[in-house]
Amino acid sequence: MKPTLILTFLICTAAFAATIGKSTPPPSLTRDRVATLPAKDRAPWLAYLDRSERQMQTDRAFLAAELKAAGVTQATPAPGGSAARSIPLDRPAEWYAGPDARRIAAIVVSFQTPAGGWSKNLNMADHERRKGEHFAANNLSKYLAPGDFDTPHDISWNYVGTLDNDATTTQLRFLARVAAAVGEKEGAPFRASFVRGIRYLLAAQYPNGGWPQVWPLEGGYHDAITFNDGAIGEAIRVLSSVAEGKGDYAFTSADLRKDAAAAVQRAIDCILQSQIVDRGVLTVWGQQHDPLTLQPVAARNYEPAALCSAESAGIVQFLMALPHPDARVGKAVDAAVAWFRKTAIPDHKYSRGPDGGHFDPQPGAPLLWARYYELGTERPIFGDRDQSIHDTLDEISRERRSGYTWYVTAPQSVLDAYANRR
């Protein structure tokens, strides 16, 4: 090959496989940021920050007092595991009145934070919390590096009260089921814990109806309104069950039902207001949105601010299931469905193996969607642990290619449901 041809080939290859951007850390919710709001809008946000800071002090003081009484300086980590696996929600109704369910319920109550929530990645079938034991397991990332978006402000206080990984909402559903199955007296502590948990959700809700990933606020991307992994959707579903006051939730008071119903409506309003307008067109949602601007923001290093297909599919399914949707909901659903149709990828398959993820041609394959689409271009994008953003899956590290789902099929269920309701 002639030198000029080699040079041309190298230039074209570099242009095709270049890093196209870098994620920027999302800002925390702070008083300085609230001060930039119009004067009429500041009061509820400042009150929210006051409430969060007071609760953080209360939570930390509670554990500190236990440690002091025990004569130790460091809390024992909670047992790690999966709440979803250790808290069964699919057993026959009679199981929830039995000894195994009551034992797990007692463990759940013991790990409830003073604020009323629960941490994530907890084994809730191991043992009741002991004095001086942390409310959270070790949730630190194994890949932390300087400037990592996942670095907590305090490594000893991380995800203490969260909606991430179905935390808090799973515990609440389980407690409601057990409380409804056992007797009035025996179920009293489970009902009390449940009510505290619902009050936690109400206290954590932002003035505009969204929820942060972690509350009391931890800072960084944890302060963002979090659609990732269905966090907000699950909170709304639990609160909707309370508002209805039927079945497992019939024991809830009229006041709690009223407050839950109001929270659900605020959350729906927030969802509709957060739908991204891209180049003048209503589209879908990001995984995380800034609590004040409602614009999409990054989360972990490899999760860029983008249009997100998977979480948006969950949001649209929720909106389509609303019993009495108004015109705003209909408009939001129609726009999202149009976007799913526009961005669908035909004739390709996505697979993951020890050597990473692969995206290959396959005629006739079911439709796929990239997990992330770039704002402004709608081309698929892929993030890496060094915060770089790429337009080709093969460019990112093997660890991230194999450790994350980059293409999804979830929007197909939305298209099917949408077609069937017409």
Give the HSE-up count for residue 219: Cα atoms under 13 Å, Cβ half-sphere: 13
Average pLDDT over residues 315-325: 95
Range of the domain at 81: 27-274
Within a domain: 4: no
Domain boundary among 274, 305, 340: 274
Compare 272 and 155 and report the one with higher pLDDT: 272
Answer whether residue 1 is part of any domain: no
Dist CA 400 CA 336 (whole Å): 28
Q: Going by C-beta distance under 8 Å and a sequence separation of 6 or more, which residues neighbour residue 306?
A: 286, 287, 296, 372, 373, 374, 375, 381
- Could you give the CA distance from residue 387 to residue 23 in angstroms, rounded to a whole number? 5
Mark which of 243, 274, 305 sits at the end of a domain. Answer: 274
177, 191, 300, 401: the active-site residue: 300
Give the mean pLDDT of 270-279.
97
Cα distance between residue 174 and residue 226, in whole Å: 23
Note whether 262 and 280 are same-domain residues: no
Is residue 16 situated within a structural domain? no
Q: Are residues 234 and 294 in the same domain?
A: no
Residue 176 domain-assigned (yes or no):
yes
Query: 224 with 323, same domain?
Result: no
- Minimum mean pLDDT range among 81-85, 174-178, 183-187, 208-212: 81-85
Q: Do residues 221 and 297 both lie within one domain?
A: no
Same domain, 308 and 386: yes
Same domain, residue pair 249 and 175: yes
Mean pLDDT of all residues belonging to the chain: 93
Q: Would you state the pLDDT for residue 84?
A: 80
pLDDT of residue 14: 38
Asked if the model's pLDDT at residue 97 lies above 60, the reply is yes
User: Per-residue pLDDT for 219 more than 60?
Assistant: yes
CA-to-CA dists, residue 96 to 100, 158, 280, 305, angstroms: 8, 31, 51, 42
What is the spatial distance between Cα 170 and Cα 108, in angstroms, rounded to a whole number?
10
Give the model's pLDDT for residue 81: 92
Is the pLDDT assigned to residue 7 strictly greater than 90? no
Burial string for 207-232 (b: 16+ CB within 10 Å, else e) reads: bbbbbbbbbbbbbbbbbbbbbbbbbb
What is the reported pLDDT for 422? 59
Active-site pick, 165, 208, 228, 301: 165
Answer yes or no: do 84 and 113 share one domain. Answer: yes
Note if 208 is an active site residue. no
Average pLDDT of the residues in 53-76: 96
11 has a pLDDT exceeding 70:
no
For residue 165, indicate whether it is catalytic: yes
Cα–Cα distance for residue pair 216/204, rounded to 1 Å: 7
User: How many domains does the structure of the chain reveal?
Assistant: 2
Q: Which token pair is 342?
A: 């526009």
Tell me whether residue 359 is in a domain. yes
* Model confidence band, residue 356 (pLDDT cutoffs 50, 70, 90): confident
Mean pLDDT on 217-241: 96
Structure tokens, 264: 């659900």
Q: Which of 381, 229, 410 has the alpha carbon at shortest distance from 305?
A: 381
Q: With CA atoms as reference, report the closest residue to 303 among 391, 228, 395.
A: 228
Q: Answer yes or no: is pLDDT of 145 > 90.
A: no
Arithmetic mean of pLDDT, 177-200: 96
Note whether 276 and 378 are within 8 A (CB): no
**Looking at the structure, do residues 126 and 172 belong to the same domain, yes or no?**
yes
From 274, 296, 326, the end of a domain falls on: 274
pLDDT tens digits for range 103-134: 999 999 999 999 999 999 999 999 999 999 99
The confidence band for 83, taking pLDDT boundaries of 50, 70 and 90, is: confident
Task: Tell me, yes or no, whether 339 lies in a domain.
Answer: yes
pLDDT digits 0-9 by tens, 365-412: 999 999 999 999 999 999 999 999 999 999 999 999 999 999 999 999
**Co-location of 286 and 263 in the same domain:** no
- CATH number for the domain that contains residue 76: 1.50.10.20
Specify if 256 maps to a domain.
yes
Whether residues 249 and 110 fall in one domain: yes
* H or E segment and range at residue 359: strand 356-361
Q: For a pLDDT cut of 70, what percent of the chain falls above it?
A: 95
Query: Span 299-320, mean pLDDT?
Result: 97
Same domain, 267 and 301: no
Determine the average pLDDT of the residues in 23-37.
97
